[in-house]
Amino acid sequence: MLQEVIEGKWLACFSRVLALNGVGVGTPVAILAETQSRPVLVQLAGLACSELGAQYSTILLPSPKLSAPVPVRSTGASDAIAHKQHVIEALKCVDIVVDVTVEGQLHSPEWPEIEASGTRLLVVCNEHPEILERTEPYAELGPKVKLGIKMLQQANTMRVTSAAGTDLVIDLRGAPCGGTPGFTTRAGGVAHWPGGLCVTFPGKDCVNGRVVMDVGDMNLTFKQYLREPIHLTVINDYVTEVAGKGLDAELFRQYLAAWNDPEAYGFSHVGWGMNPVARWESLAMYDKKDLQATEFRAFAGNFLFSTGSNQYAERFTLGHFDLPLRNCTITLGDQVVVRDGVLQGDLA
């Protein structure tokens, strides 16, 4: 069992990552936490800000009353702010929000207003510090992620295929593209740690085909490897059929159905992992309470897709799956960027 105490090596790690995100002497910082936040992350963030000489404050929100019919995990769509305008205004007054809420602000409904003010966001994912230490962002990954984002921006289509049977086509025209190596200094920029991925948010009626999640692929919401295949039919952005005879498929069907919300079946984002220090096999080494499983969104060469909130298609829901697949080939137009799960060319 891993202990959650302050370690000098973890404080040094937090200080390096915050510095990489532009935190230094006099930087206005808000540490955004909630009552159910992992205490060691709040403490490490505050100590690192102090060590760097930042002007920081901690905003502690009450974790909201449960509103979902099933447990909510790893959504990136925290509802802790709960539309409190005074909190939103406070976050608009700093250079950077260090987000240690349980689910994070990546897809929260309040973030677009805060982002528009120029405040940037660093989501410290709800992981044990050992996982954060092992996946510490490093500057050299920045240019490769930037190149991947540029390739997405220049492409009109993405096609994803696999020997398992995936054949998915995504219209990228007009789709916002992004990603993060785990750090940003751009006004309004968004980063998360663990980081290292390139993603795009398709617009309405842009995703069609089939996805076959194979044995060993991952359901990050459930924090587990798949033991049996799941076959998804996707028509105009929505999962219309979940086929499979095993327990994994039944759990997938039941969780989606529990929301009684068609938006839970919609596609959120698609992309691929870029981080060579994120490890597919490490899920086997941790108890579920130790991790949020964001490391596995970023392992190099995975095809990542998610269901749930897509603010660019005006879909919001707490129902969410993050689903990284191995051994896929991803093509942008005529250019292969991932072949059979391996990054290609200058992305490698």
Q: For 172-201, what is each residue's pLDDT tens digit?
A: 999 999 999 999 999 999 999 999 999 999
pLDDT tens-digit readout, 110-159? 999 999 999 999 999 999 999 999 999 999 999 999 999 999 999 999 99
Which residue is listed with tokens 């370690």? Answer: 7
* Domain residue ranges in the chain: 8-134, 141-179+195-347
pLDDT for residue 53: 98
Contact 114, 83 (CB under 8 A): no
Q: Give percent of the chain with pLDDT exceeding 90.
A: 89
Which residue, 232, 229, 230, is CA-closest to 207? Answer: 232
Contact 243, 212 (CB under 8 A): no
Lowest mean pLDDT among 100-109, 271-280, 295-304: 100-109
pLDDT for residue 106: 85
On the 0-12 / 13-18 / 19+ scale of CB atoms within 10 A, 284 is exposed
- The Cβ-side half-sphere exposure at 106, using a 13 Å CA radius, reads 28
Distance of alpha carbon 323 from alpha carbon 309, whole angstroms: 14
Would you say residue 220 has pLDDT above 90?
yes
Would you say residue 312 has pLDDT above 90?
no
- Dmax (CA) for the chain in angstroms is 58
Q: Which CATH class is domain 8-134?
A: alpha beta
CA angle 251, 257, 260 (to 5 degrees): 155
pLDDT for residue 111: 93
Tell which wins on pLDDT, 203 or 313: 203
Which residue, 156, 137, 253, is CA-closest to 203? Answer: 156
Whole-Å CA distances, 332 to 19, 148, 152, 158, 169: 34, 10, 7, 5, 10
Cis preceding linkage at 194, omega within 30: yes
Average pLDDT over residues 79-86: 94
- Mean pLDDT taken over the chain: 95
Contact 35, 61 (CB under 8 A): yes
pLDDT for residue 108: 87
pLDDT for residue 316: 77
CA angle 80, 86, 87 (to 5 degrees): 35
CA-based Rg of the chain, rounded to a whole angstrom? 19
pLDDT tens-digit readout, 22-45? 999 999 999 999 999 999 999 999
Beta strand segments in 128-249, E: 157-162, 167-171, 177-180, 190-193, 197-200, 207-213, 218-219, 224-225, 230-235, 238-243
pLDDT for residue 317: 79
Would you say residue 109 has pLDDT above 90?
no
Average pLDDT over residues 197-222: 96
